[in-house]
Chains A and B, each alone.
Chain A
Amino acid sequence: MQTLSTDVLVIGGGATGTGCALDLAMRGIRCILVEKGDLTHGTTGRYHGLLHSGGRYVTKDPQSATECAHENAILRRIMPHCIEQTSGFFVITPWDDESYGDVFVANCHRTGVPVQEISVAEMLRREPALNPRISRVFEVHDGSADSFLATHSVALAAREYGAEIRTYHNVVDLVRVGDRVVGAIVEDLRSGERIRIDCTYVLNAAGAWAGKIAALAGVTVTVVPGKGTMVAMNHRMVNTVVNRCKLPSDGDIIVPIHTVAVIGTTDVHVPDPDVFGIEPEEIQFMLDEGEKLIPGFRQYRALRAWAGVRPLYKDKDVASDRDIPRTFKLLDHEERDGVSGILSIVGGKWTTYRLMAEQTVNELARRLGNTQPCRTASEVLPVPRFEHRAHAMVTVSTDPAAQTPHYWLGKPLALVESEHAAGDLICECELVTRDRIVAAIDAGAHNLDDIRRDVRMGMGPCQGGWCIYRTANLLYERRCADGLSHTHANEAILHFLQERWKGLTPVLWGDQLRQARLDELIYAGVLGIHRLRALAEPGGGLVTQHPAIATEYVQA
């Protein structure tokens, strides 16, 4: 068995783990990060994309609110290419308690969350689709964030600083010598080979899976996987994040992100983060709630639904999962459980990932005798190559918004137009050019789903009808010299079609149902992919079927 050695082994390639890897590497601490799927494969890649102002937590979780407000300003500085400055509204609808408005403002002031009340007329001028029966509006610094791109940017920086990041590496065991954890056995899911990684510390940053990792060391960490279901709608009916001004509950937020608006979320306790379903009632409930914010919401085309599992850490008995604090906690298992060599970072949310990493690495650095200060709040993150062209400044426009380093909705189209690349669009819905797909393949995509997360291929209205075929072919042409065969390419298509189907069935009606049928005509009719099933097998450096990364959706 191959053996590697490092100072810190980080388990989990979500925002938190990747953020920790960067912080460690920046301070000169050797680290290896292992993630069983792709970066953001767990919860980071399955959230609505809200850059929190802190407003949602001012009443129930003031510490989180303050942390969010602080980190919000930092993230805008260090990853402008991942953030759209949408701003955010908290609105009081006829279904909400009028009196909460004043409480909300007072709590914003108390927690340091910037807030300003604006008139309903002003709100309607900026967002004409919102319900005119809304009575009060408070504006906060919400934004939307591309959590896929952000995590890739953090990982890129971490690698530049010397961190080693291994995706599709599943931890199968932790190695314990007496009361000390000294390393881990991980399986490379592409080859099936096992590797031993010796380390001074294991950092368990596995989010909703942290309990499963801790159990390998023989310690108990109670993470309550809180399933949140979201629906992406095919229109940005608002360009501002819209929250109901009330205590956080189901279906109370709409986040405009890239080409879609996401409504979320539900919060349902699930026993296992790998086994959950999307219930039709959840979808219907959110559409009903969407109607309250935007009359006619149901008439928009729903693109897909998905669920993520919040990594809520349950410290003591709390009434409901939504009452568990959204702040994070660093668990020292030596002090807590008598097992040394392992720390767990649990809870938290995307917006505070950097702060979580900072505090975690402060503690690790202290123990390792490293006195370097944290610099993650000041260094601007690099842009991955598959995004590079889209990030270039567009000079064709005189609009000042076009010149901002931040993401803006019209930017991909402006770039495609300025490059006359319309004929080279592989994914027409999301304006993804051949160059960007090829760059994502060259960056080491392990299946079509990785490419989707990298460049948004297949996330638009047609849900991959045209671009799955095209991308699979580009993947084959690009990598057939490296051992990727036609059987692997066939398997990649079959796998991706099935992955998309899971997210589609809950929202298939109207045009999207018709689209699904057209996609069936394309793949089963025109292309006959099912006739190639005997010529499809996993491999070629792609990871398609593996129990460690399979999310079992139980049919509702």
Chain B
Amino acid sequence: MYDTIVIGAGLSGMLAAIGRAERGEKVLVLAKGHGATHWSTGCIDLLADVDDPLAGIAQLAIQHPHHPYALAGPAMIEQGIARVRAIGEAAGYPFAGSFNRNLLLPTALGALRPTAFAPATMIAGDARQLRDGRPTLIAGFAELRDFFPPLIAANLRAQGIAAEAAQLTLPPTQRQHDFSPVTLARLCEQPAFRANLGEQLAAYVRKGGYARIGLPAILGLKHATEVVRDLQNRAGALIFEIPTLPVSVAGMRLYQILEDELLRLGGRIQLGGFVQRAERISDTLVAVFSEAAAREQRHTARRWVLATGGILGGGVRATPDGHLHETALDLPLQTPDGRAGWFAPRFLNAHGHPVFQTGVRVDQRLRPLDAAGQLVYENVQIVGGALAGYDPIREGNLEGAAIATGWAAGQA
């Protein structure tokens, strides 16, 4: 019997688990697989399209009192993020940024994306620095299919940044073909590979006088900060990483530091356990059953955190006939009225698609409510993407809302 079982291994679940484990509880993270962290940028987005994220969040909480940020409260937002930053710091993978001013970091298309905190490996890419007039080089490898310097540089130039593009020659390796971001990240941790890379970058800097170099976010998996520092020294220019398409190496690093921290605190993680049903006594959840290795496994705990995500994470699923259901505990969901209201006609319309705000409605303590507003379970808390009434991708708070609600559940 665990004190707390967290279902789901994304950011919100990991933060909740770390919080409970810190209090000396016996904690299990039970998940189908890794969460959406592996798909995202590895940055911590708090709120996009505002100058001051924290002020924007305060405004949002007033306008939408059921928004996850409103439920978590400003203290949990700040403490949760402070905790992640402390974990990063201790792991040698620090995050830089501010609660009160968004960074603007180049994407792999050359758009400038607002985010509050970014790993130190990305920070030199902030547009305010790039606009100082000194030349920036965007460089990649032809072998990497997820990063194309010329279009990035052209789009940056159109936004007032003196960027140029270059294709590097892949340093000699044992491997002949198929260079994914993860493969390259591992190669970057080999000194010889890095030395060759550094020489090429130094040659570009000598020729073009570049002050900064943007590279795909493949600069190491476990020792990224060192890799970047070493390359900077060799190249004689500041280096910043740009997130690539999934699988995101920077996302993997963020997950990894949290996993290491949870294990250090004595928590356990069981992946491959797809929770499919619940056992209850009155309004208490006593056990869940996961599908694992040709049998059902029964897990018991005193309290529970549901962190399975929304439609993206797989915690909410739709049937062909237009019914949405919560996959683990079959909790009631707050959904748009009817399938006709699920989507907007334009894919990239400013407000996103209503179906993706589907989630579980909760009380002030993040406990699940039914349509009538009655408590469904007194010992279950819902965190992250599984919560109703927000669109983390479009609002630009994917990591912030997950961390805030996850941390809140870990403290209550």
Contact = CB atoms under 8 A, between A and B. Distances in A.
A554 B393 CA distance: 27
A521 B398 CA distance: 10
Contacts of A470: 145-146, 148
A194 B112 CA distance: 40
A528 B113 contact: yes
Contacts of A497: 347-348
Interface stretch (A72-80, A177-185, A507-515): A507-515
A495 to B, nearest CB: 11
Interface string A501-523: 10001001110011001101111
Interface string A378-418: 00000000000000000000000000000000000000000
Interface in B340-359: 340, 342-343, 345-348, 350, 352-353, 355-356
B113 A531 contact: yes
A524 B393 CA distance: 7
Contacts of B400: none
A509 B319 contact: yes
In the complex, which range does the number of interface residues on chain A fall in? Answer: 35 or more
Contacts of A426: 145
A501 B177 contact: no
Contacts of B322: 280, 509
A448 interface: no
Contacts of A121: none
B154 A485 contact: yes
Given A423-B179, A528-B113, A466 B151 contact: no
B319 A522 contact: no
Contacts of B314: 514
B111 A529 contact: yes
Interface stretch (B33-41, B130-138, B362-370): B33-41
A124 interface: no
A489 B245 contact: no
Nearest to A525: B393
Given A423-B178, A509-B319, A486 B154 contact: yes
Given A466-B245, A508-B343, A486 B158 contact: yes
A487 B246 CA distance: 25
A480 interface: yes
A529 B159 CA distance: 14
- The A interface is mostly helix, strand or loop, or mixed, namely helix
Interface in A247-291: 280, 284, 287
B321 interface: yes
A417 to B, nearest CB: 12
A268 B25 CA distance: 63
A171 interface: no
Contacts of B41: 525-526
B318 A508 contact: yes
Given A423-B143, A486-B151, A518-B246, A501 B346 contact: yes
Interface string B304-330: 000000111010011111100000000
Interface stretch (B71-79, B102-110, B230-238, B289-297): B102-110
Contacts of A336: none
A287 B111 CA distance: 41
Interface in B24-50: 36, 39-41
Contacts of A222: none
A315 interface: no
A457 B159 CA distance: 30
Contacts of A280: 322, 339-340
A530 B348 contact: yes
Given A509-B322, A510-B320, A518-B246, A422 B177 contact: yes
B355 A513 contact: yes
Contacts of A513: 311, 317-318, 355
A420 B345 contact: no
A514 B312 contact: yes
A323 interface: no
Interface residues of B, number: 56
B299 interface: no
A529 B348 contact: yes
B176 interface: yes
Given A497-B347, A513-B355, A529-B109, A535 B177 contact: no
Given A284-B321, A510-B319, A532-B111, A473 B148 contact: yes
Contact of A494 (B320, B348, B353, B355): B348
A60 interface: no
A16 interface: no
Contacts of A476: 148, 150-151, 154
A473 B108 CA distance: 10
Given A525-B398, A532-B109, A505 B320 contact: no
Interface in B111-157: 111-113, 143, 145-146, 148, 150-151, 154-155
B109 A420 contact: no
A41 B301 CA distance: 59
Given A477-B148, A501-B347, A514-B314, A526 B155 contact: no
Interface in A425-476: 425-426, 434, 465-466, 469-470, 472-474, 476
A517 B394 CA distance: 11
A530 B314 CA distance: 25
Contacts of B158: 486-487, 535
Nearest to A470: B145
Contacts of B343: 505, 508
A480 B107 CA distance: 20
Contacts of A423: 143, 145, 177-179
A548 interface: no
A3 interface: no
Contacts of B356: 517, 520
A477 B150 contact: yes
A490 interface: yes
Given A469-B108, A532-B110, 8 more contacts: A421-B177, A469-B245, A487-B158, A489-B151, A526-B244, A526-B245, A529-B111, A532-B109
29 contacts: A280-B322, A284-B320, A287-B320, A302-B320, A420-B176, A423-B179, A424-B177, A466-B146, A469-B109, A469-B245, A470-B145, A472-B151, A473-B150, A477-B151, A494-B348, A509-B319, A510-B319, A520-B347, A520-B352, A520-B356, A524-B348, A525-B398, A526-B246, A527-B107, A527-B245, A528-B113, A530-B348, A535-B158, A535-B159
Interface of B: 36, 39-41, 107-113, 143, 145-146, 148, 150-151, 154-155, 158-159, 176-179, 243-246, 248, 310-312, 314, 317-322, 339-340, 342-343, 345-348, 350, 352-353, 355-356, 393-394, 398
